[in-house]
Copies of this chain bind each other. A is one copy, B any other.
Amino acid sequence: MNQSLTDAEVQTLDVHWRAANYLAVGQIYLLDNPLLREPLRAEHVKPRLLGHWGTSPGLNLVHTHLNRLIRARDLDAICIWGPGHGGPAVLANSWLEGSYSAAYPDITRDEEGMRKLFRQFSFPGGVPSHVAPETPGSIHEGGELGYSLAHAYGAAFDNPGLLVACVIGDGEAETGPLAGSWHANKFLDPVHDGAVLPILHLNGYKIANPTVLSRIPEDELDQLLRGYGHEPIHVTGDDPVAVHRAMAAAMDQAVDRITAAQRAAREEGAVERPRWPMIVLRTPKGWTGPDKVDGLQVEGTWRAHQVPLDGIHTNPEHLAQLEAWLRSYRPEELFDESGRPRAEVLVHVPEGERRLGANPHANGGLLLRELPVRELERFAVPVDKPGATMHEPTRILGELLEQVMADTAGRRDFRLVGPDETASNRLQAVYQATGKAWQAQVLPVDENLARDGRVVEVLSEHLCQGWLEGYLLTGRHGLFSCYEAFVHIVDSMVNQHIKWLRTTRQIPWRAPIASLNYLLTSHVWRQDHNGFSHQDPGFVDHVLNKSPEVVRVYLPPDANTLLSVGEHVLRSRDYVNVVVAGKQPCFDWLSLDQARVHCARGAGIWEWAGTEDGSRDPDVVLACAGDVPTMEVMAAAQLLRELLPQLAVRVINVVDLARLMPADEHPHGMKDKEFDSLFTPDKPVIFAYHGYPWLIHRLAYRRTNHDQLHVRGYKESGTTTTPFDMVVRNDLDRYRLVMDVIDRVPGLSVRAAGVRQQMADVRARHHDWIRAHGTDLPEVADWTWNG
């Protein structure tokens, strides 16, 4: 397949590239006169010039050549467009191939459509300057840089017939996440996964600086890429004809090598990790744009990054230069009288779903199948009475996940990702159903590694997140299990995914995708040996700042509630679900049936745990959210029942944190009336919360009874210590909670003062004991619920 292009092919590639370049410039500048039928005047130009020219010609070149490749070989391919602000190029190509008009019938493939295409770009109410959810064929927002290659691998996993091209800008290549993503090829199975074709585009500059990879010697760069496990193919130049020839040859060569590697693995049983091909494309920034502006070099420099000519409305020379620039693409050769692309322009453009802007993999919801989740009865722990047994909740969930893995063994559309912590997080049952993906060397002592494994573990939260996003966005399912503190590493990535989901909800042609599910475990209260650096429950705060349509937070207090929440989030669509649950042995409070009802309500009274008699309002409410706070509240309730039996105590457990929010601020928010009936309009509420206590205030500050709400939680009092000492240090312990109750309920008996002192004494005893023994008080270590 590797013959060189005919002159006619070069010509048809170049005419498409020119058309795309013309359309990119038009989007940045033009309000009107899209075909330059009349001389360009200032009023044809947008009042605010916002957009980025620099990266566009390179992206247009790649798109043009991908078109040829796809059409010539009937490939099933998508492309991840990594460089920032690549919008004008990808939109231009989508419009040219017709996928844009299919998604947006109002933007027709003619003069009027072109006018609208131009006008809407970076215009109020229009489309962003990045490749974005609004862009057909995209699964990757080009605004925040660093995640393109991880997304590409996520898309390729379990898509053996798919080619995922991925353009990586040399700016983006400097980010940590991108730098770490190169090693993703050690996790790509040539048999069951598709191929990723990285195209490193070196146009030499970022916003204002040269890029590292464009300024190291080519042999050093070549070594680097070979060290990453690739065979690089270099394409360098600034003469369009020569670059077209070289680029076409490089693409042919790359796909030939991919095909050969896949054949070897699939048909000949090769188990050696292939050295996958990649392309290094070195072309000038702002290529074909203005060479010099106001006497300064622009083409090939950082000055081409944004709008090379920005004085159109005041500087007639700039206006003239812009017109010359636009006319240099010879629009009359590119578009016919009605403004439609001429046939010659479209020679290499694929048809139908083969078009990069119409491939269903890039609108993954179209391909999504219901995830098989068996009835929970087979995994549930039996609970005849509350608190009589203990289980590790994540271990129980692991059995459900094992079954999902087993039931998707043929379909291969479910993955579990995590930073080397699947077993540490007690989910190792999944290894009964599948292995850990691994294409590097395997030693006899290794366990559970498998070329075709669907558990993916790498010590990079960024890669885990990026892979899972790419996997979900192409229509599959998954779960990310992570240490609670270190999920902050992907704060910014989840921001972008939430924004993506929020935006796609307003785009009719985007089909819903599976939710991004986090299981946060190894949480703040159980970092016995890791201490302060591993204690941070703030991810929940972070995500609850984001779009309420998308974000859900669950804190199941035991094994069966975790199962119920797990089932719910695995079946859900278009959400980011954050589930916080412990991996340590935890009392079983609810039977499966009770758990289902409780989780569906999201928050509710545990009558059996309190001392209300139903005839009147309680004297005090003990509320809890999270497994450890729940245990402390239960122990406090038990102490109160024993020591102050006349006190009417209500115990409330909250699983779904958004229930606390006002009904008009979150779809799960409780109506005030319901909130008042649960939390009472006027009684003291002592709320033991898993994370930062002020979060509960932030959620509930508008509630009737907010002035009586007193929240205990983690207040950055962390260290290396025992579980119970952690809650004591943060004033979340059972004894402190009892003291809080006594301090806040008016008119208690003298006896209460004695109980308060008794509690203070135990706390003091705790301090002495732990210093002496390094363990918790026996009465705490051996505590059981006797309700």
Query: Within 8 Å of chain B (Cβ to Cβ): is A349?
Result: no
Task: Kindly supply a per-residue 1/0 record for chain A positions 216-231, scoring 1 wherever the CB is within 8 Å of any chain B CB and 0 otherwise.
Answer: 1100111111111100
Chain B nearest CB, measured from A396 CB (Å):
20
Asked whether A128 and B531 contact (CB < 8 A) given A46-B774, A208-B422, A215-B440, the answer is yes
Query: Within 8 Å of chain B (Cβ to Cβ): is A421?
Result: yes
Contacts of A223 in B (CB 8 A): 223-224, 226-227
Contacts of A692 in B (CB 8 A): 545
Contacts of A222 in B (CB 8 A): 227
Contacts of A215 in B (CB 8 A): 186, 440-442
Q: In the bound complex, do residue A503 and residue B491 qualify as a contact, i.e. CB atoms below 8 Å apart?
A: no
Task: Kindly supply a per-residue 1/0 record for chain A positions 472-501, scoring 1 wherever the CB is within 8 Å of any chain B CB and 0 otherwise.
Answer: 000000000000011011011001100100
Given B177, B301, B697, B774, which contacts A47 in the complex, CB threshold below 8 Å? B774
Query: Within 8 Å of chain B (Cβ to Cβ): is A290?
Result: no
Q: Complex formed: what's the CA distance from A178 to B215 in Å?
A: 21
Q: In the bound complex, do residue B486 and residue A492 qualify as a contact, i.e. CB atoms below 8 Å apart?
A: yes
Contacts of A125 in B (CB 8 A): 719, 721, 770-771
Contacts of A446 in B (CB 8 A): 210
Q: In the bound complex, do residue B51 and residue A171 qualify as a contact, i.e. CB atoms below 8 Å apart?
A: no
Chain B nearest CB, measured from A747 CB (Å):
24
Q: In the bound complex, do residue A529 and residue B297 qualify as a contact, i.e. CB atoms below 8 Å apart?
A: no
Given B124, B186, B225, B423, which contacts A721 in the complex, CB threshold below 8 Å? B124
Task: Kindly supply a per-residue 1/0 record for chain A positions 299-321, scoring 1 wherever the CB is within 8 Å of any chain B CB and 0 otherwise.
Answer: 01100000000000000000000
8 Å CB interface, A120-149 against B: 122-130, 132, 141, 143-146
Given B176, B211, B495, B721, which contacts A488 in the complex, CB threshold below 8 Å? B495
Q: In the bound complex, do residue B128 and residue A533 qualify as a contact, i.e. CB atoms below 8 Å apart?
A: yes
Query: Within 8 Å of chain B (Cβ to Cβ): is A457?
Result: yes
Number of copies: 2
8 Å CB interface, A685-740 against B: 692, 694-695, 697-698, 701, 706, 716, 718-722, 725
Chain B nearest CB, measured from A293 CB (Å):
13
Given B206, B207, B462, which contacts A176 in the complex, CB threshold below 8 Å? B462
Q: Complex formed: what's the CA distance from A126 to B771 in Å?
A: 9
Q: Complex formed: what's the CA distance from A10 to B222 in Å?
A: 40
Task: Kindly supply a per-residue 1/0 record for chain A positions 407-437, scoring 1 wherever the CB is within 8 Å of any chain B CB and 0 otherwise.
Answer: 0000000000000111110000000000010
Determine which residue in A227, A297, A546 has the highest number of CB atoms from chain B within 10 A of its CB, and name it.
A227
Query: Within 8 Å of chain B (Cβ to Cβ): is A528?
Result: yes
A-B complex: 7 closest residue pairs judged by Cβ atoms: A224-B227, A143-B533, A50-B529, A176-B180, A176-B176, A215-B440, A488-B492
A interface with B by C-beta (< 8 Å) = 31, 46-48, 50-51, 122-130, 132, 141, 143-146, 171-172, 174-183, 186, 206-212, 215-217, 220-229, 297, 300-301, 420-424, 436, 438, 440-443, 445-446, 449, 457-463, 485-486, 488-489, 491-492, 495-496, 499, 502-503, 528-534, 536, 538, 541-542, 545-547, 692, 694-695, 697-698, 701, 706, 716, 718-722, 725, 770-771, 773-775
24 CB < 8 A contacts A-B:
A47-B775, A50-B528, A51-B529, A123-B720, A125-B771, A129-B720, A130-B530, A130-B531, A130-B533, A132-B533, A143-B534, A144-B486, A144-B533, A171-B459, A174-B458, A176-B176, A176-B181, A209-B436, A210-B449, A216-B229, A225-B227, A488-B495, A541-B541, A541-B545
